[in-house]
Protein backbone atom coordinates (compact mmCIF):
# COMPACT_ATOMS: atom_id res chain seq x y z
CA UNK A 1 0.00 0.00 0.00
CA UNK A 2 1.81 3.03 -1.32
CA UNK A 3 -0.48 5.39 0.59
CA UNK A 4 0.81 4.02 3.89
CA UNK A 5 4.45 4.35 2.84
CA UNK A 6 3.90 8.01 1.95
CA UNK A 7 2.06 8.63 5.23
CA UNK A 8 4.76 6.82 7.21
CA UNK A 9 7.51 8.92 5.60
CA UNK A 10 5.50 12.15 6.01
CA UNK A 11 4.85 11.39 9.69
CA UNK A 12 8.57 10.77 10.20
CA UNK A 13 9.77 13.84 8.29
CA UNK A 14 7.29 16.36 9.73
CA UNK A 15 8.72 15.93 13.23
CA UNK A 16 11.98 17.80 12.54
CA UNK A 17 10.50 21.18 11.49
CA UNK A 18 8.10 21.09 14.46
CA UNK A 19 10.93 20.21 16.85
CA UNK A 20 13.17 22.89 15.37
CA UNK A 21 10.49 25.62 15.47
CA UNK A 22 9.71 25.20 19.16
CA UNK A 23 13.38 24.79 20.05
CA UNK A 24 14.13 28.06 18.25
CA UNK A 25 11.30 29.81 20.10
CA UNK A 26 12.68 28.96 23.54
CA UNK A 27 16.37 29.29 22.67
CA UNK A 28 16.63 32.98 23.70
CA UNK A 29 15.55 31.97 27.21
CA UNK A 30 17.84 28.97 27.65
CA UNK A 31 20.87 29.46 25.40
CA UNK A 32 22.99 30.98 28.19
CA UNK A 33 22.70 27.73 30.16
CA UNK A 34 23.86 25.69 27.18
CA UNK A 35 26.71 28.14 26.57
CA UNK A 36 28.08 27.76 30.11
CA UNK A 37 30.64 24.90 30.09
CA UNK A 38 30.53 24.44 33.87
CA UNK A 39 26.92 23.22 33.64
CA UNK A 40 27.88 20.37 31.34
CA UNK A 41 25.12 21.18 28.84
CA UNK A 42 25.93 21.32 25.15
CA UNK A 43 23.97 21.85 21.96
CA UNK A 44 25.20 19.30 19.42
CA UNK A 45 26.10 20.41 15.88
CA UNK A 46 23.46 20.30 13.15
CA UNK A 47 25.27 17.33 11.60
CA UNK A 48 24.17 15.40 14.69
CA UNK A 49 20.79 17.08 15.35
CA UNK A 50 19.29 16.70 11.87
CA UNK A 51 19.73 12.93 11.35
CA UNK A 52 18.95 12.25 15.01
CA UNK A 53 15.65 14.15 14.90
CA UNK A 54 14.59 12.56 11.60
CA UNK A 55 15.28 9.19 13.20
CA UNK A 56 13.31 10.25 16.28
CA UNK A 57 10.36 11.12 14.02
CA UNK A 58 10.61 7.64 12.50
CA UNK A 59 10.65 6.05 15.97
CA UNK A 60 7.65 8.12 17.04
CA UNK A 61 5.67 6.93 14.02
CA UNK A 62 6.53 3.29 14.71
CA UNK A 63 5.70 3.67 18.40
CA UNK A 64 2.50 5.68 18.00
CA UNK A 65 1.03 3.81 15.02
CA UNK A 66 -0.67 1.22 17.27
CA UNK A 67 -2.47 4.04 19.09
CA UNK A 68 -3.80 5.40 15.80
CA UNK A 69 -4.84 1.89 14.78
CA UNK A 70 -6.74 1.19 18.00
CA UNK A 71 -8.30 4.54 18.95
CA UNK A 72 -11.52 4.97 17.01
CA UNK A 73 -13.52 7.58 18.93
CA UNK A 74 -13.90 10.53 16.57
CA UNK A 75 -11.27 12.84 15.18
CA UNK A 76 -10.10 14.48 18.42
CA UNK A 77 -9.49 11.35 20.47
CA UNK A 78 -6.47 10.11 18.43
CA UNK A 79 -4.97 13.61 18.59
CA UNK A 80 -5.42 13.78 22.37
CA UNK A 81 -4.03 10.26 22.83
CA UNK A 82 -0.98 11.02 20.68
CA UNK A 83 -0.28 14.38 22.34
CA UNK A 84 -0.63 12.76 25.77
CA UNK A 85 1.76 9.92 24.86
CA UNK A 86 4.30 12.32 23.40
CA UNK A 87 4.22 14.72 26.35
CA UNK A 88 3.68 12.77 29.59
CA UNK A 89 6.13 9.84 29.24
CA UNK A 90 8.27 11.61 26.65
CA UNK A 91 8.85 14.92 28.43
CA UNK A 92 6.94 15.62 31.61
CA UNK A 93 8.14 12.62 33.61
CA UNK A 94 11.79 12.84 32.42
CA UNK A 95 11.94 16.58 33.16
CA UNK A 96 10.46 16.08 36.63
CA UNK A 97 13.13 13.43 37.27
CA UNK A 98 15.77 15.90 36.02
CA UNK A 99 14.41 18.52 38.44
CA UNK A 100 14.47 16.11 41.39
CA UNK A 101 17.97 14.90 40.56
CA UNK A 102 19.08 18.49 39.87
CA UNK A 103 20.84 17.41 36.69
CA UNK A 104 19.31 20.34 34.78
CA UNK A 105 19.17 23.93 36.05
CA UNK A 106 15.70 24.46 37.51
CA UNK A 107 15.39 27.76 35.61
CA UNK A 108 15.24 26.06 32.21
CA UNK A 109 12.82 23.24 33.07
CA UNK A 110 9.65 25.37 32.68
CA UNK A 111 10.84 26.52 29.25
CA UNK A 112 11.52 22.96 28.16
CA UNK A 113 8.14 21.82 29.52
CA UNK A 114 6.34 24.52 27.50
CA UNK A 115 8.46 23.75 24.44
CA UNK A 116 7.73 20.05 24.52
CA UNK A 117 4.06 20.54 25.39
CA UNK A 118 3.63 22.75 22.31
CA UNK A 119 5.73 20.35 20.24
CA UNK A 120 3.62 17.38 21.44
CA UNK A 121 0.34 19.14 20.68
CA UNK A 122 1.37 20.19 17.17
CA UNK A 123 3.08 16.91 16.28
CA UNK A 124 0.24 14.89 17.83
CA UNK A 125 -2.25 16.81 15.71
CA UNK A 126 -0.12 16.42 12.56
CA UNK A 127 0.30 12.67 13.13
CA UNK A 128 -3.40 12.21 13.83
CA UNK A 129 -4.15 13.80 10.46
CA UNK A 130 -1.35 12.06 8.53
CA UNK A 131 -1.78 8.58 10.01
CA UNK A 132 -5.50 8.74 10.74
CA UNK A 133 -7.87 6.48 8.90
CA UNK A 134 -8.06 7.23 5.20
CA UNK A 135 -11.81 7.77 5.33
CA UNK A 136 -11.35 10.38 8.07
CA UNK A 137 -8.77 12.21 5.96
CA UNK A 138 -10.96 12.19 2.86
CA UNK A 139 -12.97 15.21 1.84
CA UNK A 140 -15.52 15.55 -0.90
CA UNK A 141 -15.09 18.10 -3.67
CA UNK A 142 -18.11 18.27 -6.00
CA UNK A 143 -18.99 14.67 -5.13
CA UNK A 144 -15.44 13.38 -5.75
CA UNK A 145 -13.58 12.02 -2.73
CA UNK A 146 -10.05 13.38 -2.42
CA UNK A 147 -7.43 12.26 0.12
| Domain segments of the chain as ranges | 2-135
Q: Reply yes or no on whether the pLDDT at 138 is more than 60.
A: no
Does the pTM surpass 0.85? The reply is no
Structure confidence at residue 123 (pLDDT):
97
* pLDDT tens column, 78-134: 889 999 999 999 889 999 998 888 888 889 999 999 999 999 999 999 999 998 864
Give the residue among 139, 136, 138, 131 at the shortest CA–CA distance from 4.
Answer: 131
* pLDDT tens column, 43-56: 888 999 999 999 99
Amino acid sequence: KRSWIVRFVAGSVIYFPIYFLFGALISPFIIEYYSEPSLGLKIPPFTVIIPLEFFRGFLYVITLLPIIATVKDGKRTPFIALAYMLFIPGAFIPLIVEAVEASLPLEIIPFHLLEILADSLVYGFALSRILGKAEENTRSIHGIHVT
